[in-house]
């Protein structure tokens, strides 16, 4: 269970480091200081892109586009229930952005962890699994 949470947390950090409603994110920093820090901006951008490639490739391979849409739909339905029950309001744009970041991180985290979840639920190993 710890490895699943760790994979989700890394997805959350990856997305939040790229963009979030605070001024502490790659897009805000790079757009404001790329002229003075171009080599560093390129390096950090490439490192973020590598993280996205790893997560997106594993997610598409494990749950596919339909699975990604399904997970995102479940997260959106959960948010809808919280709004309907009055536990959450969507008036604050900052909160809405954090909800979007959270939803995207869940999609990527579940996609990267799906083989582990499926193996634990079904007891069947994937062909790609070597020894655990």
Are the C-beta atoms of 117 and 3 separated by less than 8 Å? no
Domain boundary assignment for the chain? 2-122
Measured between alpha carbons, how far is residue 84 from residues 74, 103, 111 in Å?
A: 15, 18, 28
Tokens matching residue 75: 């997260």
What pLDDT does residue 122 have?
A: 81
pTM of the predicted protein model: 0.84
Calculate the average pLDDT of the chain: 91
Handedness of CA 121, 122, 126, 129 (dihedral sign): positive
Cα–Cα distance between 49 and 30 in angstroms, integer? 14
Q: What is the pLDDT of residues 75-128, one digit of tens each?
A: 999 999 999 999 999 899 999 999 999 999 999 999 998 888 888 788 776 565
Q: What is the pLDDT of residues 61-80, one digit of tens each?
A: 999 999 999 999 999 999 99
Cα–Cα distance between 120 and 122 in angstroms, integer? 6
């Amino acid at each position: 269970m710890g490895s699943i949470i760790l994979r989700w947390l890394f997805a959350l950090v990856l997305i939040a480091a790229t963009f979030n409603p605070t001024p502490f994110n790659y897009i805000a920093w790079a757009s404001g200081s790329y002229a003075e820090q171009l080599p560093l901006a390129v390096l950090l951008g490439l490192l973020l892109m590598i993280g996205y490639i790893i997560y997106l490739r594993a997610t598409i391979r494990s749950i596919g586009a339909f699975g990604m849409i399904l997970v995102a739909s479940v997260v959106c339905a959960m948010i809808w229930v919280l709004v309907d029950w009055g536990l959450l309001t969507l008036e604050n744009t900052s909160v809405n952005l954090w909800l979007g970041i959270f939803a995207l991180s869940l999609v990527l985290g579940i996609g990267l962890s799906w083989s582990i979840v499926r193996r634990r639920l079904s007891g069947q190993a994937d062909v790609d699994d070597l020894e655990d």
